[in-house]
Amino acid sequence: MRVIWVAMVVVLALAWDHPATAQAPKPAGTTPAAPSAATVESLLAPTGQDRVLGSPDAPITIIEYASLSCPHCARFATEVLPKLKPKWIDTGKAKLVMRDFPHNAPALLAGTVARCVPPERYFPLVETLFEMQDKWVVAQDVRAALERITRVAGIGKKDFDACLADKTIENQVLQSRLTASQQLGVESIPTFFINGRKFEEEPTFEAFERLLSGLPAKS
């Protein structure tokens, strides 16, 4: 199992100098097969590791695979989500589940740190990381830049260092990507699944609005 993590870290390291790409590098030797409907349903079922924005009982489930260093993901977080949230999430109609799909080494660092904060502080930190993406992704010392940002979220240096040293959390972030790429066929980010079905349109507010409005009141 450790060999998989090493291989993934190598792939992400090779992508370090290309933080703007939204096409995720594929691990060598992997060819995703089309999963069965039962497999997709099982893989997309919310788990205790998921970070959920909105009511867990909301009938519509939006699952987003994203990378914290991806500019397209940041655009969704800063331009589209603020429009969706008041109408769909805050009203209990939908919930957003964000899952990690780090496409380079800075994203792996950021995703790991975000997973270390309590669940109720996860999305505020993620929002900050997306808003300040152009500051930390291209920093000469990404780790130091992330430490400065996460300090505002209440993560001191000792906890920050302990978080990045925790291979269990790092492996969870990597496993999220491996599962998505190898079993769900995720190749680009952000990728969304809405009530178990892959969202194929451009992730604009208007596109989400059309699809969500056409869903039944209960899943």
pLDDT in tens, 184-194: 999 999 999 99
Name every residue whose Cβ is closer than 8 Å to that of residue 204 and which is 6 or more positions away in sequence: 80
pTM: 0.84
Give kind and range of the element (H or E) at residue 151. helix 142-151
Residue 31 pLDDT: 52
pLDDT in tens, 144-171: 999 999 988 888 999 999 999 989 999 9
Residue 23 pLDDT: 53
Domains and CATH numbers, the chain: 2-22+34-213 (3.40.30.10)
> What DSSP string runs through 9-35?
HHHHHHTTT-TT--BPPPPTT--PPPP
Burial 148-158, CB ≥16 within 10 A → b, else e: ebbeebebeee
Contact call for residues 183 and 39 (beta carbons, < 8 A): yes
Residue type, 119: P
- Give the tokens for residue 183: 């079993």
pLDDT in tens, 8-49: 544 454 344 444 445 554 454 455 556 677 778 889 988 888
Residue 206 pLDDT: 96
Please give the Cα distance from 39 to 100 (Å, whole number). Answer: 19
Residue 46 pLDDT: 84
Give kind and range of the element (H or E) at residue 197. strand 197-198
Pairing of strands 60-66, 51-53: unpaired
Contact call for residues 174 and 109 (beta carbons, < 8 A): no
Q: Does residue 53 have a pLDDT over 70?
A: yes
